[in-house]
Structure formats: C-alpha cells, structure tokens
Structure 1
Amino acid sequence: MVSLGCPKNLVDSERILTKLRSDGYQMSADYAGADVVLVNTCGFLDSAKEESLEAIGEAIKENGRVIVTGCMGDEADVIRAKFPQVLAVTGAHQYEQVVNAVHDASPPVPNAFVDLVPEGGLKLTPRHYSYLKISEGCNHRCSFCIIPSIRGDLVSRRIDAVLREAEKLVAAGTRELLVISQDTSAYGVDVRHEPRLWKGEEVRTHMTDLARALGQLRTAEGRAPWVRLHYVYPYPHVDHVVPLMADGLLTPYLDIPFQHAAPGVLKAMKRPANEAKVLDRIRKWRGICPDIAIRSSFVVGFPGETEADFQYLLDWLEEAQLDRVGAFRFEPVEGAAANDLPGAVPEEVKEERYQRIMEKTAAISAAKLAAKVGRVLPVIIDEVGEPDEEDGSIGATARSQADAPEIDGNVLLRDVSAGLKPGDMIDVVVEDADEHDLYGAPV
C-alpha cells in the first residue's frame, strides 16, 4: 500500500487494509513481494496529482500489478491515458470497489483466518496515536477547493459508532485520538444533530456532545487520552468546547483553517469574512484556557491578492499570535472556480510573500516557545533513541499538547530512563527552545 495525501486518506487506507486482512491477505514490505500494489492517491492540488502519478509510475515499474484508488480516482481517464496497464481505478472512500478489485487481481484463499485482524483493525500510524474520522465530504464551496466534487457533501457517521470506535482504539493502546473530517464543526448538520444512545444516555450527533463524550474515555491505566480536534471552523458553538479543554477533558489545541484574513481575499475564496470577530473570539478562548494552542494554514498569492491584502494578513497574524502556522503558495487546481478569477499573482511575488509569512510566523513561534522555558509540561513519547556509546545516556523525541504528529514541532529530550517507550506520557522541564521545537529533560 502506498498511501498519499492527508490523514483522511490514511484512515481510508487503514479501512481498506483491515478488510483485506480479514479476507486473508497479508501486507508486503516491498514491491517485489507483492501480488498487487494499491496506490491511494491525493488529488487536491496539481502538485499532489503529479506526486500521485509518479507513485503510480514507480509501482508499475517495480511491480506491474497496480490498483489505483483515492481522490485522483475521479480522473480515471487521465490515469489510464498515462498508465493503460493499471488493473483498476476507484474513487475516494470506495472501500468495497477497491477490495473487489483486489479479489479480481489476486483471488483470496478460501477459509481465511479472520482472527489475523487485530482488535481495532490495521493501523498505519504508531500504536499510541490514531486518527478518528467522524464524517465524509463537505458542504462548503470554497473557490479554491474541489473536495466536494471528489468526496461529495457532508455525511456524518453515527455518533455511537464513532464513540465505539474511539473506545476500541483506546482499549487497544491508543493514547492520543486525532479527530478529523473536512469540517469537524459541522458534524451532524446533515442529520439535524440526531440523538443516539451511548452508555445509557442520549448524545447528539454534534461536535460538543462528541467532544464531551470523548473526554470521558480512559486508558487501561485509568488515564485520560489526549483528544485533539482538527479542521475546526470557528462557528459559535466552538466556544462551548474550549471550557472542556480548561477542565482537562480535551487537549487544549484547535486546528482552524483560516486560509486568509483580508476581507477581499476571503470573499474571493468564498469564505466567511469576519476576521475581526475571530480575533475577539481567540482572545476569549485564551481567557478561558490560557494554554490553548491554535494552529492554522494560509494561502498566499491567491488571485487578486494585493500587497495591501498581504500586509493585512501579516498584521492580523501579529495580533492573533497563532501558535503554529503553515503556509501555501496558491496553486490552480483543475475544476476549481478560483482558476477563472482575475488578478493572477506572478510566481516570483508568491514566493516572496511566502518567505515573508514564514519569517513572520517563525518569529512568533520562537517567542511563544521561548516563554515556555522553565515550565513543566506533559509530553507523549514518539521515539526513544539508542544509548550513547560513550556515556550510555538516552535521548527521546516527544510532543507537547501543543504539537500534533507530523505537522507541528517536537520536544527533544535528554537523559530519559531506559524503560521509556513510545506512547508513555511523562512530565518534562523545558530547558531551551528554537523557532519550532522545545528541548528538555524528564522531571
């Protein structure tokens, strides 16, 4: 399995592999040992499509028997024109079609041992953290995005099914749940927030009810797992989630895709242009939960973005003081309405603005991390190093509650105990910081 793109794609890959494992298939560690290669593609940007096509080409070269699925599966004609030898092409989250294609290409052995599937299914992440997908699709029609045309409108999973999956993941060793979707704040809108029974009580199919219920989960040791919310739009009911963070039921972290701040650009993007109100709400959230970490991503060089618009964004970021920021140069995507907008920004201007926003946000990050020096913070261990050949000391890579895996910074530790392992949660004292990472030692 070659899995590309976002965590939502990764969850799709896990579900496909779990079903195939229950049918008796085994995973191959390399191309040479595989009867079939699955390539789960990303089609969000043209550069992502290029990466997907390269991955398909490599799989064909190295193995020859390739099934393509994922977001780029909607462009089967493009894939087949370049690689006519692919065995099958299916679209995003079309699990049964992928499994059927594998059955056709390499029929399963009768009477497969279904007990080969571990509790909670197969995972492509480390054992101690898991992505929890709560819905598919999106009701927004942002001018730069083609996700609704690929994955359709919002379809929420039953809340009791989501909570049951979360409970099983925690029982199987998950210490950190990362809640993902296209729009976590809109969870349940499509089913009018219908209530379901969970543990003898009614819970609505709603982000606040979900967050509150997830906050009740406990590990085998009786410890609350970290619960991290991603892709949260700043709707008013987000205000009701922040107190749960202050009470320790949720990880004090919000991933909010602001995309820009200048009203004219937000309007062209077809996104809510209420950047001033958002600043007020960020201040309110920090008043309720001072340790809340807010991460976001922004697009620079969007069609029509002026120097004044970009400076507005820089000034907004200075006031917002976001903890973690990612930036992207605008890239046309086939089928996106933004492609037809006037005022294309030259590539050299995009690059110059990208460098400026990264410089600005790195300075903000460095200052915020420097303020943590001397504090004691809880961390989760991701990796433990080998003992040093000279003095036997052991280092480890960890993350604080302000750091989501893969996208944020790390807490780099010295002199950890020999018995430490990934997934352990310990308290550390912060001794130093740079623009993105903290450095420290166990308390």
Structure 2
Amino acid sequence: MSQTRPQNPPDLRPDLAPRPVLPSDARPGQPRIGMVSLGCPKALVDSERILTRLRAEGYAISPDYGGADAVIVNTCGFLDSAKAESLDAIGEALTQNGRVIVTGCLGAEPDFITGAHPKVLAVTGPHQYEQVLDAVHSAVPPAPDPFVDLLPASGVTLTPRHYSYLKISEGCNHKCKFCIIPDMRGKLVSRPHAAVLREAERLVEAGVKELLVISQDTSAYGVDRKDARAIVPLARDLGSLGAWVRLHYVYPYPFVADLVPLMADGLVLPYLDVPFQHAHPDTLRRMARPAAAERTLDRIAEWRAICPDIAIRSTFIVGYPGETEAEFRTLLDWLEEAQLDRVGAFQYENVAGARANALPDHVPEEVKAERYARFMEVAQRISAAKLEARVGRREPVIVDAVDEEGATCRTRRDAPEIDGNLFIDEGFDGLVPGDMVEVEVDEASDYDLWGSRV
C-alpha cells in the first residue's frame, strides 16, 4: 500500500473547525453575503445558523469576496494568537470587499476591533443572531423571491453533507483561570431535549450520516435545568436515529460511565473527547480545575472495562505558569499510564482578561517549546503503537473525500480534522463522500491507517 499521502502533523490544532464549505448558487440580482468563519466547531454552528436565517430571507451565499455585497467575519477570541488571526481576516475582508460585519467571540470586545479596523460596518458578540441580521439588513437590504428562493431542509451547512455539528448548549459554568469563554459566552444554557432531537432528525433525514455533538461542556448538559444526567437520555435518543453519534468536550464527571454502555451497545460511537488539560494536582489547582488525576485514571480504566474498544482523545496545556520540571514529568508519566488514543496540546499563552496572566513564575518560551516537543514525542509513540495494533482488523469507515489517488476515510475512532484518517488507495472506484464501507487495515503510521475494502 502506498504511503505517499501526508500524515496528520502532531501539532494539529485541536480547537479548530473544518474549513467552511460555502455553497455558491444564486439567481440574477439576488443579494449575496460572504462568510469567513474562524475558530472552533461551536463558532461554525453559529455561522450556519446565521446563513440559514439569511437564506430564508432571500440572500445568496457568496464563496468569494468579489461576488459578495457584504462579508460577515465570525471571529475567535480564545487565544491572543486567535485574536490576531481574526484581526487579519477582518483586514483582508476590508481590503478585498470593503463592507464587513464582525461577529463572534472577539465581538465581545468591540473597541478592540474598531480600534484596529474603524471602517467595519458593525460589531456584534457571540450568538447575537438578531443583531447580525439587523446589520446585514442595513448594509444590504433583502430582496426575496418566495417562488425561487428555497431553503434546504437541513438549513445551510458549512461542512460536507455527510456530517454535521450539533450544538446542544451555550456557555460554560467553569472558571478555569486560562479561559475567558464564560466571560464571552456566558453561563451554561442548555437547549431543550426536544429541540436538539428535532434538529438531529432533520439533519439525518437530509442525508447526514454522522452527528458531532458539541458544546463547551457536553457532560454538563441539563445542569441549568436541574438535570445533571440529561446528556445520557439525549445521547440514547440521538443514537436511535441511525447515524453515527460522536461526543465532544465531555468532562470526566462520575456519571459519564453511564454513557459508555451506550457505546458498548453501538448506539453511540465508542469515542470520548475529554479535555484533561494536565495531570499534576498542583498545576490543575492553579488552573482552577478539579485536581483528581489519580481518580481520572480510575475512570479511564472503568470506561475501558465497559467498552474495551473505546477511543479516548484529549487536549493538554504545557508550560502553564508555575509548571515545574517535576510537574511536567508527572504529566508525561500520567500520559504513559493513561495510553490515550488521540492527543493534542497547546503551549500556554496569555489571553487578555484571563486570570492566569497574573500568576507568578511564567515559563520561558524556549522551555515551553522544549516541553511541547517532549510531550508530543510521547503522544506520537503511543499513537503509533495503538494504530499498529489495529493492523489486520476489520473496521467500518466513512468516506470523507475521493480523488484520483484514493479515498480518504475515517474510522469510528476518528473525528474530522482533529484525528487521523484511513486511506484506501486501491479498489476505491465508485466510492463517494458519505459512503460507509468495511475495510481491513493493512498498514499503520504514527497517526493514520491504510486499508483495503472488504
């Protein structure tokens, strides 16, 4: 089997959504709006909701700046580097188009945006859909034709047609010192169970084969409604729709063990995305996160006992203020013991407004980079061994893309963009994105697999 295709890099950003796929159908004279969507999958869902509302009002979506009457930039404000990326995107849109409306997490700091780009038409904060629509109406009046402008049954999606993100709540109740998400998006607000299920049903009826459940804290779903275990019946009902259901951002509360039998029974994919962040109790305390790494290992063992094939992915921060070499070595030892399947990491950086900025003993940049490299070396070695152990197994996969070289697929253990791929480079004739086929795994690399259709 060929290994000419690029492998996933070990420094793949685990916080980013896939690149938006913009539709480009418009009738003559129809007002057109462009969209730049930055940041995480939750922001991508916000972009989809905005564009769905605009399509319902008669606007077309432009895939480029030149064809748009105005451009919406949905920004990210999670890290200072993400803020800089957002400002660059706003500047590019202003240069290429000139009529720019800004929304998203960075929109919670309007003076920061207008200070850098005073010519933007409007600035709105995260999930302020009505304000975005008002700004679009002012810049580009709607001109609907009810006999021609049809809204897709699933709404406007910015991902490939066979998978879709399903956001079940807004906001977060945690007070992690390195994060300003609660300041930008507020406290946890869960969507009603019936509303989530109706949206999922519409997506599956429209051809979606995989539902990626997202929120800031998925396992806290329902806490604001006095139902601390609400995610369990929701996951069960979503699993009854016949699509793959993948759970992201699941904090390791004890009742998460109640989700794992759904994975063992095949209702939900055997996959948990758990943001552990670190393993040393003192580091976790400085982060203002639960300092219970030893119990976390017990929970991982419990999950694997219930569902041996479960894949666990996580993200970590290296070089957090005050992190000593001994604390970092504890993290490496924990990683060796936990044997996580998929791992991403950030080098710590200050975020304007975060309480971690004021902590003493910030780690020098060169030390952070060195620790990051050591951390990823361990994670890469674990990943390579786990994938090698899957050679010879048969796996169901979903096809994401097909070109002249082969088909790019994912197993049940891999989420789009942030995890690995399985490549079929022989006998892929007739496959199209969204197909589900069975393969036998032939070869493995550090992050990816190669297989043959069964």
TM-score, length-scaled by structure 1: 0.93
Which residue in 1 is equivalent to 2:353?
A: 335
SS in structure 1 of the partner of residue 55 of structure 2: helix
Greater displacement, 103-112 / 247-256: 103-112
Q: 1:30 aligns with which of 61, 64, 88?
A: 64
The code of the aligned residue for 2:382 comes to I
- Mapped contact 1:159–1:205 kept (Cα < 8 A): no
The alpha carbon displacement at 1:284 in A equals 1.2
Pairing partner for 1:53 from 83, 87, 91 = 87
Please give the alpha-carbon distance, in whole angstroms, between the structure 2 residues aligned to 1:417 and 1:345: 49
TM-score (norm 2): 0.91
Q: Secondary structure, in 3 states, of the residue corresponding to 2:441?
A: strand
Task: Give the superposition deviation at 1:113.
Answer: 5.0
Deviations 1:233-266 (A, max 9, x none): 0011100000110000000000000000000000
Q: Deviations over 1:275-316 (max 9, x none)?
A: 111101111111111110000000000000000000000000
Are 1:78 and 2:102 an aligned pair?
Answer: no
Match of 2:52 among 8, 18, 25: 18
Aligned sequence identity (%): 68
Q: C-alpha separation between the residues in 1 aligned to 2:193 and 2:176?
A: 27
What is aligned with 2:184?
Answer: 150
Q: Match for 2:234: what amino acid? A: L
Q: 2: CA distance between counterparts of 1:138 and 1:93?
A: 14
1:24–1:114 CA contact under 8 A, matched in 2: no
Preserved CA contact (<8 Å) 1:403 1:409: yes
Residues of 2 paired with 1:205 and 1:68: CA distance? 36
Answer whether contact 1:136 1:182 (CA < 8 A) is retained: yes
CA distance in 2, matches of 1:290, 1:312: 26
Aligned mate of 1:439, from 447, 450, 453: 450
After TM superposition, the runs of 4+ consecutive aligned structure 1 residues lying more than 6 A away are: none
- Whether 1:212 aligns to 2:224 is no
Aligned length: 420
- The structure 2 residue matched to 1:359, chosen from 355, 373, 377, is 377
1:331 partner letter: E
Between the two structures, name the one with larger relative contact order (CA 8 Å, sep ≥ 6): 2
What pairs with 1:231-242 in structure 2 (closer than 5 Å)? 231-242=249-260
Shift of the 113–407 alpha-carbon distance from structure 1 to 2, 3 Å rule, reads farther
Cα root mean square deviation, aligned = 1.1
> Does the C-alpha gap of structure 1 residues 114 and 207 become closer, same or farther in structure 2, counting only changes over 3 Å?
farther
1:395 CA drift (Å): 1.5
2:218 aligned residue: 184
SS at match of 2:61: coil
Partners of 1:416 and 1:191 in 2: CA distance: 51
State how 1:8-407 maps to structure 2 within 5 Å.
8-113=42-147, 115-193=149-227, 206-218=230-242, 225-386=243-404, 395-407=406-418
Gap regions ≥5 residues in structure 2: 1-34
Is the 8 Å Cα contact of residues 101 and 122 (structure 2) preserved in structure 1?
A: yes
Structure 1: runs of 5+ lacking an equivalent? 194-203, 219-224, 387-393
1:128–1:176 contact (8 Å) kept in structure 2: yes
CA drift of 1:416 comes to: 3.0
